[in-house]
Structure formats: structure tokens, C-alpha cells
Chain A
Amino acid sequence: MFYRESGDFKSTYSADQQTFPIKFDRIAVGVILAFAFVVVPFLINDYWEKSILLPFLVWGMAALGLNILTGYCGQVSLGTGGFMAVGAYASYKITTSFPELNMFLVILLSGGVTAFVGILFGLPSLRIKGFYLAVATLAAQFFLVWLFNKVPWFYNYSASGMITVPERTVFGIAITGSNSPPWATYLFCLTFLVVFAFIARNLTRGRIGRSWMAIRDMDIAAEIIGVPPLQAKLSAFAVSSFYIGISGALFFSVYLGAAEPTEAFGIDKSFLVLFMIIIGGLGSIFGSFVGAAFMVLLPVLFKNIMVGGFGWPTDMVQHFIFMLVGGLIMFFLIVEPHGLAQLWRVTKEKLRLWPFPH
């Protein structure tokens, strides 16, 4: 009864194309954003920041990026970890070479560098398709991690081989390093996520988004009716890598503070983000967030219940998580390839009609 759109007819095309055509949705999103920006900074503490909110924001960004490439454009990539590393190391080199540069700019530039690298590694997609492309992205993953391990210029010749972020401030407040207050890092990352989610929404509903989806669904027919495959695929790689680069830069500079390539950006991260978008929903922006939230919260939940509650050893919990995630992947691919986002959409449709059954 409350979730209705009857009487809510659109009289212009621009109204019809809105992101949130139903009034209830618009209000809900507004409330959530207001809560996120205004209320949460006062409630946040270290635990919430480090264990839940920052990981969600960072991985949400990465999931958004990978979903653009794999969910919208159909190009499978197992190189997400490697591209996050590019973003991280780019941010490290930029901020250590130009200490006065505002961190917002540093992160954006890191994204730009990653976009460029993404285009480079995306060139094979013009000749290779489907999961053969996955192998090409594996080359990117392993090569990039090796590169950042082996070439000392990347870690400023430090003896440990690790990169550590120097303390940086934005508007006078520390954003990186151990002195940064949780609400500051949270707002910093939240800003990026909200702005880029908005951009992603615009890109995916316009000409470029349609060209991506056309390539995904029927690439030969797409080309015959005029979609330029080169531009479509490379733009998907570029935009996706931009997002993933930003997520990597934020992951390193704001969340971790210090990183070592194999551990922080290994292939397990590539799988993690892939799982996020499969469970959350391929080709859905909302799904990217749901998937990220799911994969971030799951270990936290399990740890609290099983270790805290039942007293089980942590490695056993880890095995359970593997089984659960693997099982869920198979489940979703069989039952609902469009993931949780689709389940949500179906629920909303039923809500629109409630209390009528159809």
C-alpha cells in the first residue's frame, strides 16, 4: 500500500529516465545519504571504521569498477588485484614525489594512471574473447605483482620492499597514517564512492553503457549495426581500471597504510571482487554495493558467531567461509545469475503490487 507508483505518471522523457522514478525510492535514498554523511561521522569508532565501513567503501568502489568491465561489458577479468596495486603504487609515487598535492587529486591521478594501464592490458580483448580473456588478465595480475615486487623504483628503494604512506592532511585534518580520525577517513572514502557511483549510473544508462551491453550480449551483431568494438571495449577497460585504481589507492593510503604486493594485491583479491559482483548481481550498480557489503560482513559475522559464540578456531571458520562462498556462487549462478540485486528487484515489484498477488 505504501510502495506505490499509481498516479505517478511521467510526462517528459527526462522524468522517465530518472534513476529513481518512484518517489518513495527518491526519499529513501535521500535519507540514507543524509544519514551517511551527517549522522555516521558522529557515531563512528575505530572498530567500525577499520572492520566494516572502510572495507565496504573501498571494495564497493572496486566492485563497481569490475562490474562495469565484466557485468556490463562482458569482459572477464581476473586482474583486479593487479590493477588495485597499480592504483596503490601510483598514489605512493605521486604523493611522495609531490608532497604538497591535495590527496583528492592524488587519488584521482592514481585512477588516471590505472586507466591508462588498463587500456594497455585491454588491447588483447580486441582479438580474444570470453574466458580466454580471463587468461590474458591473469598475465596482467601476475606480471604487475611481480613488477612491484622486483623494481625498486616503485617502492622508493626501501629496504623492506614495502610501501608506507606518509601522513597527509586534507583541509588540515590527517587522512592517512595512524593519526587520522575515523570520521575523516570515512568521509573521504564515502565522497569518492558516492560521486563515482553517480557517474557510473550516468555512464551505464547512456550511449556508452549501451555500447558496452551490446558488446556483451551480441558482439558481432553489435558491430554490424554500428557499435565500434575498439572504443567500446577499451572504454570499458579504461573506466573500470580508473575505478579499481582509485579503490587500490584508497585501500593502501587510507585503509592499510602500508602494503606489500603479493599479500595485499594477490590473486585472491581478484577472486574476492569477482565473487562480490556475482553474488551482488552482474550488470547492476546496486548489486556491486550489495555484493561488497555481503563479502565484507560475512567473515565478520561468522567470526563473531562461531569464534566468539561457539569458540571455534579461526582457521576452521575460514574453511566454512570458503565452502559457503563457493556454494553461494554456484547457487546464484544456477538460480539467479543476476544475484541479490535481482532478488531485491523482484521483491520490490511484489511490493508495488502488495497486497495484490499479481
Chain B
Amino acid sequence: MSPDILNTLEVILNGLMAGVMYSLVALGFVLIFKASGIFNYAQGVMALFAALTLVGIQTGQVPFSHLINVMFGTNYHNWSNGINTVAAIILTMCVMVLLAWLVEKIVLRHLVNQEPIILFMATIGLAFFLEGLGDLMWGANIKVLDVGLPSGGSFWLEDVTKEWASEGSEYFGMYIDVLDVWAAGIAIILVVALTIFSQYTKTGRALRAVADDHQAALTVGISLRTIWVVVWSIAGFVALVAGIMWGSKSGIQFSLSLIALKALPVLILGGFTSIPGAIIGGLIIGVGEKLFEFSLGPLIGGATENWFAYVLALMFLMFRPQGLFGDKIIERV
């Protein structure tokens, strides 16, 4: 194969990987939307918050240390050298469940009958609140996240793909980050697990009942509040995984919360209510972005990844508002 084709292939593969990362965030959205009809803008910030908490616990940081130091003139920073990663992840998960419970109790319960747009704006408020809280608790400097996942290019892959190039051409092999491969694998496992959970377990069925009709679910004895805490906890778990993946890749920084915005086009393509749709939507956006930038980007100045996903989503909205896999919207008077 010619280097051009191989380069294009590399772009596509990298696009798929990027797409998987988007899907991880989109999954959290789908879960919450399916179960409560709320579009949780705060999902991206939840990923950031989860990652921050993980690193904080992992490195033994004292929460709110900066604030305490400033207020009381003390000098606390760490209370230990660190805890092992698995324990830290479990503790972080506990924090996310607590967060889910608090959000349900303080915010969601009171907004039950409002229109979707009010709920959406409330989650924007939640996002800002969490961001401030996260920064205040753990500090806003960029952190490195290391949970032991391998990263960097793979020499093996480069060697193998070098062989594919046609005779005499200058080609140095494909660069594909091993971390991305791990992320893809984990994402697929997560999706399969969630789909099985949703289809075959009792709680999963309850989730789908609540998504369909709150009133009806209540009449068969499903506790709305419990379900919502469960859903937000699962979404918190998904956020944690997303946070770990993104954080391992590029460090934990504020821009992680902007990923939430990118998830919106993913959801529009895949449909807001479809778990597999979140993956496929993510893949399409990931590949589409990278291919567009690779092929047409240089002609129009580059950096098209800033807006391509949104414009693509916009076009989808014009012609197929429910996305590829979502439920068709029927209007009645």
C-alpha cells in the first residue's frame, strides 16, 4: 500500500480511538437521559471531578488544603504519601455515589416537573458548581494521572505496519498510542456490561421502566429516588472511567470539562437514548473530525476540529433529529 493510503488509515484508526474517548463521556449522558429525561451537562465536569478526586486520594492530598491553609495560616498538604491505586479508585467511587445522592436530594427532586430546558440549565449550574468545588478541594493546577495503564507508541505496531508500505517508499510505520487501545477495550467492555445490565437485570429493567414513564413506574412500586441515585452513581462510575482515560492521556485540567460539549454532537448522531448509539456516534465524530482535518483542514487554515463535530451534528438535526438510533419524536396536540 502506498504511504498515502497508510497515512489515511492511521488517521482513521486514531479517529476511532478518539471517538471511543468521546463515547465514554457520551455514555454517561445517555444513562441519565434514559432514566430521568435530564440532559446532564455536568457529565464532563463529573469526569473532571472524579479524576481530581482520584489523584487527590491517590497522592494522599488533604482536601481543601489551600483553603484551610489560607484561612488558618497552616501548612497542610498531604496526609500520607499515597494509597494504592485500587483502593483509591474504590474510595473515589464512594465519593461519586455520595455526590449522586446529594444531587438527587438537593437538585433533582425539586425539578421533577419542569421542562427539559430548565433541567438542562440546572445541570449547567451544577457543572459550574462542581468545577469550583473540585478546584477548591484539590487545587486547579494541572495534574498527572497515573493508574498504571501503559501509554506511548508501540514499536511492535510501527514495525508491523512498516512492512505494509509499498517497495521503496518512505514510511516509518503507524503511530497508535497504546493507551488509546486500552481505552477502546475498556469502553467496549463497559458498553457491553451496561447493555447486559440494562436488558437482563432487575435494576436494569426498573431503569428502563422509569425512562419510559415515571408515573407508571411508581405505580408498580419502583422507587424513583432510588433509581435516580443508582443511575447517577453509574454515570459517576462512567465519568470516573472517562476521567481516568482522558486524564492519563493528557493530564487533568480544566479543558476536560469542555469534553462535555463535544459529547453533544455524539449524542445527536447516536440518539440521546441509545447506548450503542453513543459508541457509534462517538466513532463517527472521531473519525469524521480527524479525516476532515487531515484532508480539507490544510486548505482552510486548520484547527477545524473546533467546530466540525457541531456542524455535522447540525446537519443531522436538520434531516434526522432523532439521530441514528434514537426514538422518533412524534408531536401531538
A and B touch in the complex (CB under 8 A): yes
Which one, A138, A224, A323, contacts B133 given CB within 8 A? A323
Distance in angstroms between the alpha carbons of A287 and B114 in the assembled complex = 21
B177 at interface by CB-CB < 8 Å: no
Distance in angstroms between the alpha carbons of A264 and B116 in the assembled complex = 30
Contact with A along B296-333 (1 / 0, CB 8 A): 00001111101100110110011001000000000101
| Chain A positions within 8 Å of B70 at CB level | 310-313, 316
A127 at interface by CB-CB < 8 Å: yes
Distance in angstroms between the alpha carbons of A244 and B125 in the assembled complex = 23
| Chain A positions within 8 Å of B321 at CB level | 127-128, 132
Main SS of the interface on chain A?
helix
| Chain A positions within 8 Å of B264 at CB level | 134-135, 138
Minimum CB–CB distance from B270 to chain A (whole Å) comes to: 13
| Chain A positions within 8 Å of B300 at CB level | 150
User: CB-nearest residue of chain A relative to B310?
Assistant: A139
Most buried by B among A76, A146, A150, A312: A146
Which one, A128, A146, A316, contacts B318 given CB within 8 A? A128
| Chain A positions within 8 Å of B122 at CB level | 329-330, 333-334
Say whether B125 contacts A124, CB under 8 Å: no
Contact with B along A216-253 (1 / 0, CB 8 A): 00001100100000000000000000000000000000
| Chain A positions within 8 Å of B133 at CB level | 319, 323
Given contacts A138-B261, A146-B303, A333-B122, contact A315 B140 (CB under 8 A): yes
Say whether B333 contacts A220, CB under 8 Å: yes
Which one, A135, A142, A267, A327, contacts B129 given CB within 8 A? A327
A322 at interface by CB-CB < 8 Å: yes
Given contacts A124-B318, A313-B70, contact A320 B132 (CB under 8 A): yes
| Chain B positions within 8 Å of A323 at CB level | 128-129, 132-133, 136
Minimum CB–CB distance from B58 to chain A (whole Å) comes to: 22
Given contacts A128-B318, A330-B107, contact A319 B136 (CB under 8 A): yes
Minimum CB–CB distance from B129 to chain A (whole Å) comes to: 3
Which one, A136, A320, A325, contacts B317 given CB within 8 A? A136
Most buried by B among A326, A328, A337: A326
Say whether B307 contacts A130, CB under 8 Å: no
A321 at interface by CB-CB < 8 Å: yes
| Chain A positions within 8 Å of B118 at CB level | 333, 337
Given contacts A132-B317, A327-B129, contact A146 B107 (CB under 8 A): no
Say whether B128 contacts A135, CB under 8 Å: no
Contact residues on A (Cβ < 8 Å of other chain), bracket: 35 or more
| Chain A positions within 8 Å of B129 at CB level | 322-323, 325-327, 329-330
Given contacts A134-B120, A139-B311, contact A326 B136 (CB under 8 A): no
Most buried by A among B67, B118, B122, B301: B122
A278 at interface by CB-CB < 8 Å: yes
| Chain A positions within 8 Å of B111 at CB level | 333-334
Given contacts A139-B313, A330-B122, A333-B125, contact A146 B304 (CB under 8 A): yes
Say whether A131 contacts B116, CB under 8 Å: yes
Minimum CB–CB distance from A222 to chain B (whole Å) comes to: 11
User: CB-nearest residue of chain A relative to B329?
Assistant: A129
**Which residues of B146-167 have CB atoms within 8 Å of chain A's CB atoms?**
none
User: CB-nearest residue of chain A relative to B322?
Assistant: A132
Which one, A130, A310, A326, contacts B116 given CB within 8 A? A130
| Chain A positions within 8 Å of B125 at CB level | 278, 325-330, 333
Minimum CB–CB distance from A338 to chain B (whole Å) comes to: 11
Say whether A136 contacts B314, CB under 8 Å: yes
B117 at interface by CB-CB < 8 Å: yes
**Which residues of A112-167 have CB atoms within 8 Å of chain B's CB atoms?**
124, 127-128, 130-132, 134-136, 138-139, 142-143, 145-146, 149-151
Say whether B67 contacts A316, CB under 8 Å: yes
**Which residues of B189-234 have CB atoms within 8 Å of chain A's CB atoms?**
none
Distance in angstroms between the alpha carbons of A329 and B122 in the assembled complex = 6
| Chain B positions within 8 Å of A124 at CB level | 314, 317-318
User: CB-nearest residue of chain A relative to B125?
Assistant: A329
User: CB-nearest residue of chain A relative to B265?
Assistant: A135
User: CB-nearest residue of chain B relative to A262?
Assistant: B306
**Which residues of B10-45 have CB atoms within 8 Å of chain A's CB atoms?**
39
Minimum CB–CB distance from B210 to chain A (whole Å) comes to: 21
Distance in angstroms between the alpha carbons of A130 and B268 in the assembled complex = 13
B104 at interface by CB-CB < 8 Å: no
Minimum CB–CB distance from A344 to chain B (whole Å) comes to: 20
Minimum CB–CB distance from B110 to chain A (whole Å) comes to: 4
Say whether A333 contacts B121, CB under 8 Å: yes
Interface residues of B (CB under 8 A from A): 39, 66-67, 70-71, 106-107, 110-111, 114-118, 120-122, 124-133, 135-136, 140, 258, 261, 264-265, 268, 300-304, 306-307, 310-311, 313-314, 317-318, 321, 331, 333
Q: A132-B317, A325-B125 are in contact. List 20 more A-B contacts (CB 8 A).
A: A74-B117, A127-B317, A131-B117, A134-B120, A135-B313, A136-B313, A139-B307, A139-B310, A142-B307, A146-B304, A149-B303, A221-B333, A320-B132, A322-B129, A323-B132, A326-B125, A329-B125, A329-B129, A333-B125, A334-B110
* 29 pairs from A and B in contact (CB 8 Å cutoff): A74-B117, A127-B317, A127-B318, A128-B321, A130-B116, A132-B268, A136-B317, A143-B310, A150-B300, A220-B333, A267-B258, A278-B121, A311-B70, A320-B132, A322-B131, A322-B132, A322-B135, A323-B133, A326-B127, A326-B128, A327-B129, A330-B106, A330-B107, A330-B129, A333-B118, A333-B121, A333-B125, A334-B107, A334-B122
Nearest 7 Cβ contacts at the A-B interface: A329-B125, A326-B129, A322-B132, A326-B128, A323-B132, A139-B310, A150-B301
